[in-house]
Structure 1
Amino acid sequence: MAETPKSGESSNIDISKLISEMSKLSSPSFPSYHLPTSFNISSLFTVPMDRTNYASWKSQFEDILEMHGLTAVINNDTKPPKMQEDGSVHPEFAKDKLVLSWIKATSSSSIKTLLIPCTTANQAWKMLAKHLSPLASTRIRILRDQIRTLKKDNDTIVADYLNYAKSLVDSLVQSGATMDDDEFISYILDGLGLEYKELATTLHLHPNINFDQFYDLALREEHLQKRMSLTLTTGVAMAADRVPNERNFNSKLPSHNHTNFRRNRGRNWNQGRGTRRTGQWEQTQKIWPSNQPSQHREWPSNQHSQYRES
């Protein structure tokens, strides 16, 4: 007859076996590595990567890879195996797919189309460097030229001009280049023209001013110029109104003054200048000029007949 186990002994054996089996089921396939599946990389890239900001995206993406210990993934030329001998996913393959998904998640729609043929993170990394690095260098040169040749139009207010200039330097930073505030402000000031020479003097006295401080000073200078222009325009308008007022005052003078003036002028003209004009009737002397022949005056026929009868 088989020996039966003592009370409590069978339960201890069963519990130990159960714990052993559960530990096998709960153990990961590659316990030495944990993928950061809960990490949302899109939250760190508010602007998707495109042809204009590739350099800044590349720099930030490399920092993230280094923080998670995944820098070797983009440098691995060989394609990692997909499965292990026990049928589980190979950890190197999981790392590669994770980095590849990060690249696509932070790219714009046009860049995602470019990355369709890429099956590994290394292929995608090289594809981006091949197609976007030369474009990034060209864009940096274009942005620098646009900043150096800034010019404010007469119809543009200072606030719009400064905001446009700031957008250019922000795009320059996104492209991977830098420009300090002193250089940037000097280009902006050149574009403002001679009307803001007083502002240039202020900046000369305060050489360490930043862009935000310069922004406030430029707006104040514009406001001051508008006030001065309004004062000048008002003075010119008042001077122009003074002329018709004086004319209206002269028109209200007594009319006999003007009559005497015209009467005296007519008398002087007849006496002084009328004697030197030939071929005209002299009002003062009541004579005919000697060099002009007399004219025969024709009488009516009835007057001739009456004269003969008499």
Structure 2
Amino acid sequence: MGLSFHLTAAHHVFSTLPPNPLSANAVTEKLTRSNHSIWEAQVLSAVRGARLYGHLTGASTPPVKEIEDKDGKKVSNPVFEDWEARDQQILSFLLTSISPGILSHIAKTKTATDAWAKLEAMFASQTRARAVNLCISLANTKKGNSSTIDYFTKMKIFSDEMAAAGQPITDDELVEYILTGLPAEYKSLVTSLVTRVESVTVDELYS
């Protein structure tokens, strides 16, 4: 009888824990030093979809840990326990989506908000520097002796990496960069494209 009672009580305790709404949202690409924007997009999509974004920003503040019962005694606040359980689920989701090299920087964080703030601070300056370097590469890269395909591919990769760094450029901007890097023998092509009324898409330029 006593054993049955304890098992029933234990089942009741565990059944009240909130299910993890992020358990089915595995991040396919773990965070490294070179893919922060892609990783962030995956994480934010999952967290916002579960309506838990406030746990990352700090907008969801924890309730008080203890409350008074009917006798005026301090007891654990079940609302806080539920909030903490949810926050730890989100923190676990973040930790399991990070590569070992990055994980060591946030392994000691206690809440999802703390972990997110550390990651954002860590990558903010790195992302800006990467975007600046890519912009310089786009401006300075010339076709030279490269084949047309190799030159176009290199410039397209720079553009894709700008987008991955959170600083996407438009098709018009990429076309301008590509045309600027062409040698003199392409002058007639450049002139005809620049004087067109309609914008030239990247695919049209490649053709």
TM over 0.5: yes
Q: Which has the larger radius of gyration?
A: 1
1:119 aligns with 2:105: no
1:188 shift after superposition: 0.9
Local SS of the residue matching 1:93: helix
1:140 is matched with 131
Any conservation in 1 of the 2:32–2:102 contact (CA below 8 Å)? Answer: yes
Local SS of the residue matching 1:106: coil
TM-score, normalised via structure 2 length? 0.74
Task: Please give the residue correspondences for 1:230-249 in structure 2 after superposition, counting only pairs within 5 Å.
Answer: none
Gap runs ≥5 in structure 2: 1-7, 66-74
Local SS of the residue matching 1:42: coil
1:40 shift after superposition: 2.9
2:48 is matched with 66
2:149 corresponds to which letter in structure 1? Answer: A
1:171 aligns with 2:161: yes
How many angstroms apart in 1 are the aligned matches of 2:64 and 2:111? 9
Q: Percent same amino acid at aligned positions?
A: 24
Any conservation in 2 of the 1:79–1:120 contact (CA below 8 Å)? Answer: no
1:36 corresponds to which letter in structure 2? Answer: P
Any conservation in 1 of the 2:160–2:168 contact (CA below 8 Å)? Answer: no
Any conservation in 2 of the 1:54–1:133 contact (CA below 8 Å)? Answer: no
1:277 is matched with none
Any conservation in 1 of the 2:27–2:39 contact (CA below 8 Å)? Answer: no
2:182 is matched with 192
1:70 shift after superposition: 0.7
1:69 shift after superposition: 1.1
Local SS of the residue matching 2:144: coil
Gap runs ≥5 in structure 1: 1-20, 217-310
1:39 is matched with 24
Q: 1:121 to 1:115 in 2, by over 3 A?
A: same
TM-score, normalised via structure 1 length? 0.52
Greater RCO (CA < 8 Å, at least 6 residues apart): 2
1:25 shift after superposition: 5.6
Which whole-Å deviations, capped at 9, do the CAs of 1:145-172 have from their partners, x for residues lacking one?
Answer: 1111121221x21111111111111111
Q: 1:187 to 1:62 in 2, by over 3 A?
A: same
Q: Give the number of equivalent residue pairs.
A: 185
How many angstroms apart in 2 are the aligned matches of 1:134 and 1:80? 36
Local SS of the residue matching 1:41: coil
